[in-house]
């Protein structure tokens, strides 16, 4: 018998996306939605109406929420996707073939990012591999990385060729809201690592991030759209994370 696959989705206030997301994984042996108990819209009701198993769970961070999914899934494998991602039939077919290969404990999946209405090819946004297809019992999420999660895998991982489609940051308001959420997590991670900002870090860190995205990762090849995105990421992940990190150190001293 072929290994079974659970499609796992972490969801909160995603009523505009959850139906299309679930329909894109209608091929899965099980569809499991881990619903943030703070969710106040119809996400859970829509998911149940479409036949998914919905499990409400209090949200602590993304790593813990994904570990809950690993524990609850009934499939031999779990394929994680976000509510703003879509799985194509070609990717489903490739995954069905991949899980037959017993030597692998996980598979990296490439991702195409549609940001502010345009697909982005450079600046680190493609192929943007994500470790999303995991053999249950041989994968856990690292709890020291509550956001931009890291999988601790017992065994080798392979690379798939067919990408996920990611409708990432449809509006600037959504971009700003998500970055505000991530800034706090990232600053806390750096603080726990003992990283302490120096006066020049406030200037050099955003400059390094912009250079990495725009020059090293060739963000300039996406034209003005690439320039805009690289500058935004440098501002949020370079400057604002450093500001938040500095505040953490000062508050602990006080």
What are the residues facing 9 on neighbouring strands?
Answer: 33
Arithmetic mean of pLDDT, 228-232: 96
- The boundaries of the domain holding residue 185 are 172-253
Per-residue model confidence as pLDDT tens digits over 9-32: 999 999 999 999 999 999 999 999
Question: Are 147 and 212 part of one and the same domain?
Answer: no
Question: Are 75 and 180 part of one and the same domain?
Answer: no
Statement: residue 148 has pLDDT above 90: no
Question: Are 38 and 144 part of one and the same domain?
Answer: yes
Per-residue model confidence as pLDDT tens digits over 86-145: 999 999 999 999 999 999 999 999 999 999 999 999 999 999 999 999 999 999 999 987
The tokens describing 201, both together, are 């870090």
The interaxial angle of helices 223-233 and 201-211, nearest 10 deg, is 150
Residue 66 burial (C-beta neighbours within 10 Å; 0-12, 13-18, 19+): buried
CA atoms of 244 and 246, how far apart (whole Å): 5
What confidence score (pLDDT) does residue 149 get? 84
Examine the fold and report which residue of 168, 186, 217 is the final residue of a domain before the chain moves on: 168
What confidence score (pLDDT) does residue 56 get? 97
Question: Are 183 and 143 part of one and the same domain?
Answer: no
Question: Are 158 and 176 part of one and the same domain?
Answer: no
CA atoms of 79 and 53, how far apart (whole Å): 15
Examine the fold and report which residue of 151, 168, 185 is the final residue of a domain before the chain moves on: 168
Question: Are 12 and 114 part of one and the same domain?
Answer: yes
- How many structural domains does the chain have? 2
Question: Are 63 and 139 part of one and the same domain?
Answer: yes
Question: Are 213 and 117 part of one and the same domain?
Answer: no
Q: How far is CA 74 from CA 106, 154, 240, in A?
A: 17, 19, 41
Residue 152: φ, ψ to 5°: -95, 110
């Amino acid at each position: 018998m072929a290994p079974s696959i659970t499609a796992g989705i972490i969801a909160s206030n995603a009523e505009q996306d959850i139906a299309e997301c679930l329909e894109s994984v209608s091929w899965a042996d099980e569809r499991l939605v881990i619903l943030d108990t703070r969710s106040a819209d119809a996400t859970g009701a829509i998911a149940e109406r479409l036949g998914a198993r919905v499990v409400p769970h209090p949200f602590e961070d993304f790593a813990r929420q994904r570990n809950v999914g690993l524990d609850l899934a009934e499939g031999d494998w779990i394929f994680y996707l976000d509510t703003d991602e879509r799985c194509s039939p070609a990717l489903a077919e490739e995954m069905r073939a991949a899980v037959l290969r017993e030597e692998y404990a996980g598979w990296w999946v490439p991702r195409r990012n549609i940001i502010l209405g345009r697909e982005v090819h450079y600046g680190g946004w493609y192929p943007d591999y994500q470790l999303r297809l995991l053999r249950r019992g041989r994968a856990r999420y690292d709890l020291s990385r509550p956001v931009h999660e890291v999988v601790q895998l017992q065994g080798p991982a392979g690379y798939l060729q067919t990408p996920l489609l990611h409708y990432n940051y449809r509006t600037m308001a959504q971009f700003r809201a998500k970055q505000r959420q991530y800034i706090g997590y990232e600053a806390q991670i750096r603080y726990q690592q003992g990283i302490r900002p120096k006066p020049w870090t406030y200037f050099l860190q955003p400059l390094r991030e912009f250079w990495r995205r725009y020059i090293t990762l060739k963000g300039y090849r996406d034209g003005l759209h690439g320039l805009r995105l690289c500058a935004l990421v440098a501002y949020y992940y370079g400057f604002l994370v450093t500001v938040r990190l500095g505040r953490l150190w000062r508050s602990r001293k006080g």
